[in-house]
Amino acid sequence: MSDHAQALFDGIRQGDRGALARGITLVESTRADHQQKARELVSACAGAGRGTRRALRIGLTGTPGVGKSTFIEAFGMLLLSKGHRVSVLAVDPSSARSGGSILGDKTRMQDLSVAAGAYVRPSPSRGSLGGVARNTLDSIILTEAGGYDICLVETVGVGQSETMVADMVDMFVLLLQPGSGDELQGVKRGIMELADLVVINKADGALAVPAKLTRIEIMNALHLMIPRRSSWSPKVVRASAITGYNLDRVWETVELYFTKLRESGEWDALRAAQQEKWMWREVSNLLLARLNRDPQVRLLAQTLEADVIGGAVPPGIAAEQIVDRFLSSARRQT
């Protein structure tokens, strides 16, 4: 392992949040030399986690304004009070479009972000959504090596990022608010199907009563869906991130979920399936990255792109030529 990766690894293991932040930045970098070091660091961190108690990876989603930041802040503080160490990562599809970040613009989780025992990562600011989500699993592994035993991964609930996040966490939590159960508050049916737990947030004040009705509506909707897990049927809990109402109940439900999954062996199976899926995803990422760097391919691609746009060459034929050129160029290099 390079000195750089080793130093970061040592820092992360010692609980140095600065080292963890620098490690995640390395993981998010697109530079080839950074990626090499990042791979070393991630494998070292993955190895360090082996044999220790497995961390809980929990995805959390909901449309903007539903109260995700407020909820994570309150829930995270509750977890700290129970002796857990909590990391918070965010997958933010807005960065795919603008290079900026809507989540990063506001001061988020003021107490949690400075609390000992917590690490709150500002939103990623990288180019592609695929890249963001891909890095997120590596970032999760880094935080686990840092001793964070609960990792919350937040997404904004509007894009395809949910499915990607669902593929890298153990439990998926959907946040809704009271009312408008009919159109499911703009949440796509596909996202509902991913939920292991639905939290009806803002169940306080004037919204306390409507929250009961929403809970029943959501339970009915969930009953009509095919369960994702054999050892668990999705639950719906009313809570308030502001008053703290039922946050304990949410945690009990999370604990029960993991107990069921652990006892049934489904957790092991889930992780194994994720690992396998991830390996193949990495294979395509790596291949594509190498292909994009190949000067021979670049040269050919320039002409072919123009040909395809102009209609002179069908896209399928062009793709085949590009791959063939890459393979022959790779063969020459070995």
Instruction: Give the binding site for ligand GDP (CB under 6 A).
Output: 62, 64-70, 201-202, 204-205, 240-242
Residue 289 Cα to chain centre, angstroms: 22
Distance CA 227, CA 189 (A): 13
Nearer to ligand GDP by C-beta: 107 or 333?
107
For the CB of residue 206, give the shortest distance to ligand GDP in the complex, in Å.
9
Q: In angstroms, what CA-CA distances link 279 with 52, 127, 173, 248, 286?
A: 22, 22, 25, 37, 10
Nearer to ligand GDP by C-beta: 76 or 147?
76
Contact of 174 with 67, CB cutoff 8 Å:
no
For the CB of residue 135, give the shortest distance to ligand GDP in the complex, in Å.
21
For the CB of residue 260, give the shortest distance to ligand GDP in the complex, in Å.
27
Which residue in 189, 192, 203 sits closest to 237, CA to CA? Answer: 203
Q: Positive or negative, the Cα torsion across 234, 235, 240, 241?
A: negative
Nearer to ligand GDP by C-beta: 184 or 270?
184
Q: Given strand 197-200, what is the order of strands in its sheet?
A: 118-120, 86-91, 150-155, 56-61, 171-176, 197-200, 235-238
Distance CA 202, CA 240 (A): 5
For the CB of residue 72, give the shortest distance to ligand GDP in the complex, in Å.
8
For the CB of residue 68, give the shortest distance to ligand GDP in the complex, in Å.
3
Nearer to ligand GDP by C-beta: 64 or 130?
64
Nearer to ligand GDP by C-beta: 29 or 243?
243
For the CB of residue 173, give the shortest distance to ligand GDP in the complex, in Å.
12
Nearer to ligand GDP by C-beta: 69 or 87?
69
For the CB of residue 29, give the shortest distance to ligand GDP in the complex, in Å.
27
Distance CA 191, CA 165 (A): 11
Contact of 178 with 204, CB cutoff 8 Å:
no
Nearer to ligand GDP by C-beta: 123 or 240?
240
Which residue in 196, 254, 256 sits closest to 225, CA to CA? Answer: 196
Nearer to ligand GDP by C-beta: 107 or 334?
107
| The one-letter amino acid at 81 | S
For the CB of residue 147, give the shortest distance to ligand GDP in the complex, in Å.
26
For the CB of residue 78, give the shortest distance to ligand GDP in the complex, in Å.
13
Q: Which residues of 185-202 are buried (b: 16+ CB within 10 A; e: fewer)?
A: bebeeebbbbbbbbbbbb
User: What count of other Cβ atoms lies within 10 Å of the Cβ of residue 2?
Assistant: 12
Instruction: Report the residue number whose CB is nearest to ligand GDP.
Output: 67
Distance CA 322, CA 296 (A): 9
Nearer to ligand GDP by C-beta: 70 or 296?
70
For residue 170, report the phi and psi dihedrals to the nearest 5 degrees: -95, -25
